[in-house]
Amino acid sequence: MSDTVEKVPTAEASSSSVEASITGENTEPTTTTEKTKWGDVEDDDEEESDAVSELKYLSIKDEEKPESILDEPEDSNIKAVTSGDTPYTSASRFEDLNLSPELMKGLYVEMKFEKPSKIQAISLPMIITPPHKHLIAQAHNGSGKTTCFVLGMLSRVDPSLRQPQALCICPTRELANQNMEVLQKMGKFTGITAEVAVPESNQGVTTARRAPVSAQVVIGTPGTLKKWMAFKKLGLNHLKILVFDEADHMLATDGFRDDSLRIMKDIERVNPNYQVLLFSATFNETVKDFVQRTVKSPNQLFVKREDLALDSVKQYKVVCPKEQDKIEVIKDQIMELGDIGQTIIFVKTKVSASKVHKALAEMGYDVTSVHGSMSQEDRDKIVKEFKDCLTQVLIATDVLARGFDQQRVNLVVNYNMPTKYETGEPDYEVYLHRVGRAGRFGRKGAVFNLLLENGNDKEVMEKIERYFGAQVKEIKSWNSEEEYKGALKEAGLLDE
Ligand code: AMP
């Protein structure tokens, strides 16, 4: 058995997607939107399911923790609703999961994990135990969801069968690449092969001429996956498990609902007994309801909306008289305050990204920016530099709002508040995901929301506070160094 997870190189011409949409019996009418799909296209510009037969609340007591282990988000009370009569015992140790020695080695030696996080302890038995029921799982940002589905996929693949057996669909190329890295690391000793399916702009062979996929795990974005399927390059006959990362976005009407349903139907046709896993930190009521009607008899894990905000990340708001003052805040109050780790500045459009980038660069700051209109290579390069800590400040549109895992990000700045393109209403889910880029796995973090005096920023902020029942403290004078220092000290990012 080989001792690496092979990443089979992709050879594909630049992105184009074979557009097809279906309306399944559970499909709600879709609205046409121009925005917020982030995967293969450019961006910019309580009621419980009937299938539930058993309801129980699981909360796992923290055992004595070695000093080196970080605290997970508190309030991780995850409400578990199981379907059918399979008993599940939460796994307090990875040993409880009956994993192969190769996978155990990956977890301990490569990942350097010591014990499962709460979401892992609860969800992994549900994923791994026959009859392999579907799972809809919500858990806090940065609490270890990726491991749940990556380990789920790896544990279900038969290494001797050289056919695609597990498929993971993500909204962005960055997330697909990141998940692939985790899979390669975790599965290093298993010999399981994997291939990433994201748009490439290299001069490789076109999809029509490429060889059929033989990798056992495929992780990709919807457009490329659909194209591979349309060209009969991705066989589905042996597919056992389908994962939706950022599932609420993947099944939202203004996300990738049509693509996701199409892929599910295609798999179901040849393989009715496949397992679907849906993971996200957010499931608004509309999407939750749709998902519960679409996926039959799932096990379900949910977190109350009020419990979703991370306690370890302190949130602040600052009212700035003028647009230019936001730049002054970033420059004078944030970047000059010493080593506070890496920072992501979220903006709404590529135009704002360029403006902020230019303003900070002209003042001599070394910043980079990423948005969906950049070439694939540039996007990958900028993200890699940031992940390798070669850059400290990254300006990003919401292509990086979800899932992006960089443990050294301590600070998130909302230069523009997240709002829905069509209505201007707050985008609550995106707000929560942006906040979740800081404070990974219980680390400390801070968020500064920069609000313009005029316009609707203040109203958007108020609505967000109300929605999450969150306390967002105000920095009373936008240019007071003392107040920012105080905030960063309170957040644990500056020494007293
Ligand atoms: P995720 O929410 O999956 O993006 O994970 C957030 C961060 O927590 C990642 O950097 C993981 O490597 C880390 N992590 C996940 N599970 C564990 C674990 N059981 N022990 C320690 N760190 C973990």
**Mean per-residue pLDDT, 273-282:** 95
Structure tokens at 228: 């591979």
Residues 250 and 337 in one domain: no
SS3 of residue 278 by DSSP: strand
Q: What atom of ligand 1 comes closest to residue 117's alpha carbon?
A: 19
Q: What atom of ligand 1 comes closest to residue 120's alpha carbon?
A: 19
Model pLDDT for residues 278-311, shown as the tens digit of each residue = 999 999 999 999 999 999 999 999 998 888 888 8
Residues 391 and 299 in one domain: no
**Structural domain ending residue among the three candidates 272, 307, 342:** 307
Residues 92 and 204 in one domain: yes
Q: Of how many residues is the chain composed?
A: 496
Residues 219 and 348 in one domain: no
**Mean per-residue pLDDT, 198-219:** 85
Q: Which helix (H) or strand (E) holds 186?
A: helix 173-186
Residues 235 and 342 in one domain: no
Model pLDDT for residues 430-470, shown as the tens digit of each residue = 999 999 999 988 899 999 999 999 999 999 999 999 999 88
**Number of domains the chain contains:** 2
Domain annotation covers residue 10 = no
Q: Which helix (H) or strand (E) holds 466?
A: helix 457-468
Question: According to the 3-state scheme, what is the secondary structure of 233-266?
Answer: CCCCCCCCEEEEECHHHHCCCCCCHHHHHHHHHH
Which residue range is the domain that position 346 belongs to?
313-490
Looking at residue 73, what is its pLDDT?
47
Q: Which residue has the higher pLDDT, 389 or 309?
A: 389
Residue 481 Cα, ligand 1 centroid: separation in angstroms? Answer: 34
**Structural domain ending residue among the three candidates 289, 307, 325:** 307
Looking at residue 420, what is its pLDDT?
94
Residues 351 and 250 in one domain: no
Residue 147 Cα, ligand 1 centroid: separation in angstroms? Answer: 7
CATH code of 408's domain: 3.40.50.300
Domain annotation covers residue 11 = no
What is d(CA 268, CA 284) in angstroms, rounded to the nearest whole number?
Answer: 26
Residues 83 and 100 in one domain: yes
Residue 142 Cα, ligand 1 centroid: separation in angstroms? Answer: 7
Q: What atom of ligand 1 comes closest to residue 145's alpha carbon?
A: 3
Q: What atom of ligand 1 comes closest to residue 407's alpha carbon?
A: 10
Domain annotation covers residue 7 = no
Looking at residue 3, what is its pLDDT?
38
Residues 257 and 370 in one domain: no
Beta bridge partners of 310: none
SS3 of residue 430 by DSSP: helix
Mutation test of ligand 1: which of 65, 68, 147 has the most ligand atoms closer than 8 Å to its C-beta?
147
Residues 284 and 346 in one domain: no
Q: Cβ < 6 Å from ligand 1: which residues?
A: 113, 116-117, 120, 142-147, 405, 407, 440-441
Mutation test of ligand 1: which of 62, 148, 441, 443 has the most ligand atoms closer than 8 Å to its C-beta?
441
DSSP code of residue 188: T
Of 19, 397, 427, give the one whose Cα is nearest residue 222.
19
Domain annotation covers residue 8 = no
Q: Which residue has the higher pLDDT, 336 or 51?
A: 336
pLDDT of 325 > 90? The answer is: yes
Q: What atom of ligand 1 comes closest to residue 111's alpha carbon?
A: 12
Residues 333 and 271 in one domain: no
**Mean per-residue pLDDT, 341-346:** 95
- Of all residues in the chain, the percent with pLDDT exceeding 70 is 84
Domain annotation covers residue 188 = yes
Residue 99 Cα, ligand 1 centroid: separation in angstroms? Answer: 18
pLDDT of 112 > 80? The answer is: yes
Residue 422 Cα, ligand 1 centroid: separation in angstroms? Answer: 35
What is d(CA 104, CA 186) in angstroms, rounded to the nearest whole number?
Answer: 9
Residues 245 and 286 in one domain: yes
**Mean per-residue pLDDT, 124-145:** 95
**Structural domain ending residue among the three candidates 274, 307, 340:** 307
